[in-house]
Amino acid sequence: MKAIEEPPSLVDLRKHTTAMLPRVDLPEVILEVMSWEPQLVEAFTAASGGRSRLEDLPTSIAACLAAHSMNVGYRPIAKTGVPALERSRLSHVFQNYFRPETLSLANAPLVAWQAGLPLAQAWGGGMVAAVDGMRFVVPVPAAFARPNRKFFGSKRGMTWLNAINDQGIGRGAKIVSGTVRDSLHMVDVIFGLDGGELPEIVVSDTGSYSDLTFGLLELLNISYRPALADLPDQKGWRIDPGADYGPLNTFARGRIDLRKVQRMWPDILRVIASIYTGTVRAYDVVTMLQREGHPTALGEAIATYGRIFKSLHILAYIDVDETYRRDIKHIRNLQEGRHALARKICHGKKGELYHRYERGLENQLGVLGLVLNCVVLWTTVYLDAAVRQLKAQGNPVRDEDMARLSPFVNTQLGVHGAYTFILPDLAPGAIRALRDPHALDADDEEI
């Protein structure tokens, strides 16, 4: 790319950096990231607790990650005569080395690596998180599969409730039934994150919102900012019934009785401490605070506290300063980008999952989350290298445009065809050569 005097537009920057990414298949991405971060492989320990004696275990782990994330099974992955890729070896490795605990440990170093990349730091500080559900059809009888015509048509399905931070990396997830409200489980997802600190801000859609969730998160010192639907019809809440809010009087038609909160304050603090320390699951607390769809006195007190911050959130959202709304929209778009990438990777069997038990679903979707993080980290490393190369060639790149590049570009990623598990011969710490953005082949016409 020739040096230019004026900074390229955001569209041009996205086009050139994407075109510079090497063409790779998913197994190559997994293996390359594993070569960067040895802790990823070390996280996979045998269920027996003994030290593994399997030769070339990283290749078998990468093959299992590829097979289960793409939902294609072992047939297109296994290779007779290659010990690390024998079908029996892959089955043994997955059954003995893959479980939620090892997948969580493997995710933690990826979260830390992403946080240290300059480009990821341009995207955010890692302290903002979004939680949203991704729906999967489960056409076999399964404990978590439920009918929901809106999401699954005539079939049954479940929800993969997952969290992502503003640096594009997945932080954790939970499998929930396809019919319950996400708000019953969202706090558990936040307090079950893989690596890193608890976020300071959490964004969700309306499906994860409730006044009770507002109260719980605010009491846990986390600012909750859901993207509320039907905003003009939302009710605001006031403490002083005689206050005149002018044009906002209709909005502030709810009444807050602080005496409900004061009476229950010692019990509220005990509940929050139990959640924070992990003594009880937030889901159990939320269900305990409701009876037959109605809140208990303690639940109503926490919801009342939450309505204060819900009102402040709505007022900030409709304020003339667009930064608040834009930041919420940005991370919501990031989450949609992650889900789109997940759909591309998890293409086998039409994206339908065939596990009958919760543990099988947890393992497969845990693998998908880990592989998504491998792809995001790989893409961020190469996008960062592409930006540095453009700058070194004298091309001015604006910081605000860098911050709007996406870690979910995937035109360079292959998930179909024959799969190989061979890395190029690279020096320690080196990455593949970037491509010339002007030397486009027929496959690049879509960029």
Q: What tens digit of pLDDT does each residue of 367-426 get?
A: 999 999 999 999 999 999 999 999 998 888 899 999 999 999 999 999 998 899 988 888
Q: Give 224's strand partners.
A: 202
**What is the per-residue pLDDT for 22?**
96
Q: What is the pLDDT of residue 7?
A: 62
| Mean pLDDT to the nearest integer, 223-252 | 89
Cβ-in-10-Å burial (0-12, 13-18, 19+) of 205 comes to: middle
Contact residues for 326 (Cβ-Cβ < 8 A; gap 6+):
none
Using the predicted structure, report yes or no on whether residue 1 has a pLDDT greater than 80.
no
pLDDT of 193 strictly over 80? yes
> 10 Å Cβ neighbour count for 323?
9
Say what the alpha-carbon torsion angle 30, 36, 38, 44 is, to the nearest 10 degrees: -20
Query: Is 5 a residue whose pLDDT tops 70?
Result: no
Whole-model pTM: value is 0.92
Lowest mean pLDDT among 112-121, 195-204, 255-264: 195-204
pLDDT > 80? residue 51: no
CB under 8 Å to 243, separation ≥6 — which residues? 252
Supply the mean pLDDT for the chain.
90
Residue 138's pLDDT is 94
**Lowest mean pLDDT across 174-178, 243-247, 268-272, 355-359:** 174-178
Of residues 330 and 180, which shows the higher confidence score?
Answer: 330
In this predicted structure, what is the pLDDT of residue 4? Answer: 46
Tell me the range of 51-60, 298-307, 353-362 where mean pLDDT is highest. Answer: 298-307
Q: Pick the most confident of 10-14, 239-243, 259-263.
A: 259-263
Average pLDDT value for residue range 311-328: 88
- The number of beta carbons lying within 10 Å of the beta carbon of residue 202 is 25
Q: How far, in Å, are 32, 132, 185, 286 from residue 181 at the CA level?
A: 38, 11, 8, 12
Please, which residues bridge with residue 176 across strands? Answer: 159
Distance CA 204, CA 227 (A): 6
Say what percent of the chain tops pLDDT 70. 94
Beta partners for residue 135, in sequence order? 159
CA pair distance 222, 246, nearest whole angstrom:
31
What's the pLDDT band for 185 if we cut at 50, 70, 90? Answer: confident
User: According to the 3-state scheme, what is the secondary structure of 310-373?
Assistant: HHHHHHHHCCCCCHHHHHHHHHHHHHHHHHHHHHHHCCHHHHCCCCCCHHHHHHHHHHHHHHHH
Summarize pLDDT for 406-423 with one digit per residue, the tens: 999 999 999 998 899 988
How far is Cα 248 from Cα 245, in angstroms, rounded to an integer? Answer: 5
Q: Helical H runs in 180-322?
A: 186-190, 211-219, 258-276, 282-288, 297-317
Q: What separation in angstroms does the CA of 17 have from each of 192, 412, 417?
A: 34, 11, 25
Comparing CA positions, the residue from 162, 164, 170 lying closest to residue 208 is: 162
Classified as helix, coil or strand, 163 is: strand
Q: Is the dihedral of CA 15, 21, 26, 31 positive or negative?
A: negative
Which is higher by pLDDT, 428 or 98?
98
CB atoms within 10 A of CB 428: 5
Half-sphere exposure of 274 (CA within 13 A, CB side): 14
**CA distance linking residue 408 with residue 405, whole number of Å:** 9
Assess contact for 164 and 330: CB atoms under 8 A: no
Strands 201-204 and 223-224: parallel
Which is more confidently placed, 65 or 211? 65
Q: Please give the pLDDT value at position 261.
A: 96
Q: In the structure, what pLDDT confidence band is assigned to residue 440 with cuts at 50, 70 and 90?
A: low
pLDDT at 442: 45
The pLDDT score that the predictor gives to residue 446 is: 39
Cβ proximity of 341 and 375 under 8 Å: yes
